[in-house]
Chain A
Amino acid sequence: MRANPQISGGSGAALRPAHRSAGSSRVIAYFFLTGLGLVLILPFVWMLSTSLKHPGTEFYYPPQWIPQPPTLQNYLTAVSRADFLRSYYNSIKVAVLTLLPTILLTSLAAYALVKLRFKGRNHIFFLIVMLIMVPQEVTLIPNLLLMKGLGWLDTHSALIVPNIFGSGAVFALFVMRQNMLSLPDSLIEAGKIDGATHWQIYTRIIFPLTKSAVATVSIFTLMNSWNDFIYPLVYLNSSDKYTLPLAIAMFQQAYGMTEWTVWMAASTVSILPLLIAFLFAQKQFIDSMALTGVK
């Protein structure tokens, strides 16, 4: 009777065999999904709401969701503090300087691993993939000694360089490699016939074709370096070198619990760039996150 759902159902939802069951279960589903969504989004709503409250009104009880009246003063206070803008600049600097080499190095390496023939190719790939098991937290102290030796302590190099070559790079290489495996070898043959070197084939033919991998790696790398906490905490001393998560974690110690409204304004501003990047690229990003899981 129901073997052909294309005919049996009138509405769009009825076309999907798994979901033909009753509407009541769908009501329960929406109820659950909305509830979970509210719980997950609540902290952000409160963060935004508090950032718009007058200092001293943030702990009114019962909690006030809508500031009366709202004020932008907290944002002005946060932004007027030299340290905060400085940490914003530091985060952008660290993120960009981590991102560009990560893209270049991992995509070059992926090209070699996928499109070039040489001895031990698979062994090298296997070795690199094994490195994903090494957590950054475990290499904290040896890297500290290395940074000390290089004279990089309390500099941004100590955040950038180990991040470029951290387990994030292994993940990035993996994504790039998957993408390049799908490109036909004939592209390279064509390049060779035209007398191009591998560098030219890579820069002119292959790299431009790996946009989706580059996008995925970019957002993932940005997310990691923008939110990195333990490395800045350990390697940085001077507050003018702080990145955003460190600045926000240290805010309480610097200004005390009395400035919740400013603290929330700073937190709100700190998540904006990634939030905007995510909202623009969410389809691409979520799809590729999902793909790495399925494959």
Chain B
Amino acid sequence: MTVSKLTSVAAPVLQRTRNRLPGEGAWATCFLLPLLAGLMVFLLLPLLVSGYLSFTSYNVLEAPRWIGPQNYRELFGQDPMFHKALLNTLIFAAGLVPANMLLALVTSVLLNQVRRLAAFFRSVYFIPVITSEVVFSVVWLWIWNYDYGLVNYVLKMLGLTGPNWLGDSSWAMLAVIVTRLLKNLGMNVVIILAALQSIPGMYYEAAELDGAGWFKKFLHVTLPELGPVIFLTLMVTIIGAFKVFGSIYVLTGGGPAGATNVLVMYLYQLGFKTFEYGKASAVGMVIFALILALTLVQWLLRKKLVYQEE
């Protein structure tokens, strides 16, 4: 074969074919198939089935009956509980995500300033992350308790009377957000801290030579360098907020009066309390659509914002 005659486009193709030993495809099939088949059966197929069921009327007793987009029409048009769950989910995310990002950013910047005990603090912050949501929330049941809880005790020492946090519909959401914030904060701290530590010190030296103070250094060196990691943690935190369930199940059960009822909680109630599988699937698809839309937005924004300097 005359290799010299090949164009630059064809050469890599030929190269690849020549390197492929007989049987590599067969080995690849054997190695990949078990995982791939499982993912198809237990992840992709259920997603498709969920999409199908969302267009049916289906409970335990009868077979699924195709009803078109009626579930969605009902949910969005005339289901106050769904409106509340959707709104609560957005409120939960809008409260949790900025608080988490801001606190994680401040914490990791400060953690990056200190040398002694930094590893110790990092581990302490991470312990709630490895704890189950259920156990963590069970303990916070006491902390928020109206009569003998810690929060109201501290407020009393300050001369204030605390509300019945989990039992008062105007305070329950705040309590749930704070609990969940403290549970998962450590994850973002660890990830952002690692990114901070990988910023080359010479960037700061250069900024200092230009006479930049700590704020200017933060604005012009730290934040741009953290761009990709902030985007990643932001996405993970938002998606996590949309999927919140365990904390709410333990702390409030969605109450009082639906004040903390979120989409997954509503899906759970529809699917496993009143057995409306079709409608519950539609709620599931709404959650999926939210996550999909946000991922797409992130993807587009990331290209535009984060890498513009490269």
Contact = CB atoms under 8 A, between A and B. Distances in A.
Nearest to B128: A40
A248 B133 CA distance: 11
A133 B291 contact: yes
Contact of A134 (B35, B47, B111): B47
Interface SS of chain B? helix
A52 B39 CA distance: 45
A103 B39 CA distance: 15
A264 B141 CA distance: 12
A203 to B, nearest CB: 12
A140 B21 CA distance: 43
A29 B114 contact: yes
A286 B148 contact: no
Contacts of A264: 139
Contacts of A21: 214
Interface of B: 16, 19-21, 24-25, 27-29, 31-32, 34-36, 38-39, 41-47, 49-50, 53, 103, 106-107, 110-115, 117, 121-128, 130-136, 138-140, 142-143, 147-148, 150, 153, 182, 185-187, 190-195, 198, 201, 204-205, 208-209, 214, 217, 229, 232-233, 239, 242-243, 245-246, 249-250, 264, 267-268, 271-272, 277, 280-281, 284-285, 287-288, 291-292, 295
Interface of A: 2-3, 5, 12-13, 16-19, 21, 25-26, 29-30, 32-33, 36-37, 39-44, 46-47, 50, 59-63, 105-106, 108-109, 111-113, 116-119, 121, 124, 128, 131, 133-135, 137-146, 161-162, 164-167, 169-170, 173, 192, 197-199, 202, 223, 226-227, 229-230, 233-234, 244-246, 248-249, 260, 263-264, 267, 270-271, 274-275, 278-279, 282, 286-287, 289-294
30 contacts: A2-B208, A3-B205, A18-B113, A18-B204, A19-B113, A25-B113, A26-B113, A30-B114, A32-B110, A37-B121, A43-B128, A44-B131, A47-B135, A105-B34, A105-B35, A109-B35, A131-B44, A134-B47, A137-B264, A139-B284, A141-B53, A141-B280, A141-B284, A146-B46, A165-B35, A249-B134, A271-B132, A290-B190, A290-B195, A294-B191
